[in-house]
Structure 1
């Protein structure tokens, strides 16, 4: 039998005196959610728990907690796929450039990971922790992820950091590679239906205009939030350019 939201989110329960959620911080927890994450169900659980949730396209990551910690959420299947095609490491590079603190949350039943070849999984997790210096936490499902984000938000309230989220940090040192990404982002923002958030994702995924031109429609469609229709539109635009 599945657990109720109250069992998964104990701090969301009202206090007996009616003074609000237990823990005292919940109403002050602020979480910005990438618009594409709304379908996951996690933002709804955060709202039920009393957190202040705002949905908008984020340049990197899926959740911005307390204005300074970017969280990338990966369902188990997506985590496996992103390891195989190298997408995870490109996303982590952009995550690290975009915020002072970042976190990777892998969501799914632990039994799922028994399908992995253990040395490969261990090597990937070591790379994330040591090379990228991004902590990785595992949750069993969306309820656990929501509870983790609430705990992270309460921690931000107790010990606020001096830095805040600053996407412009990625542009302070414009290496040729980064300049190419910025140029590609600006080009893509002119494509109908491709806003700043999707343009940033595509730029982070492909890096240069030439690489995007060489990509097939299916490769473009695999970027989260794009889909086949927008992929056709993007490919037509860059091929014509």
Structure 2
């Protein structure tokens, strides 16, 4: 009986790992913010949003992409701007239709350091926030993290062989996250602050999974949970 339960757990766990492995292989775009960076990040207190303005974006790379996997392209005049939804907790913010995030600039395809006709220029991503938060670690060091959804420049997607439309023929939505480290004088958690010293960070994006993929992942996790429950019940017998 015990061996059967262990085998069931093992098989379910391996199955969930296979599903997770597939998820981990999802192609990702990673925009890099390299210190020293221009711009600012601020919170004015009360119900105000977290705002990032003119933060320089220096490069973009594709990870596990069909085309140009691991190839880094410089971004000329790249800027990240964002404004979250309203405050929901101590240095925590939500999303709203009025929230926004965008990256504009030029992907330097021929690596000549000039904006010319062969490059990808304009809005590279644009979307709305889900959640955001700021954490103070020590001294003046802080980290801002966020989750959002956005749409990409189709030429940029083609560069890395990423999907431009979903299975219904609609423009492909992408799931994004960012982490930005910055320095600011610490007063107290939840206090207003302004920082013009952005250290570094990443803005990452992956295609939003199709419902069938999410169902497969959910089935694997439910199966693992069921095996755990059966194992606990067997121990009580």
Per the TM superposition, whether the score is higher than 0.5 is: no
* Larger relative helix fraction: 1
TM-score relative to the length of structure 2: 0.21
Q: Which has the higher contact order (CA 8 A, sep 6+)?
A: 2
The structure with the larger Rg is 2
* Larger relative strand fraction: 2
TM-score relative to the length of structure 1: 0.21
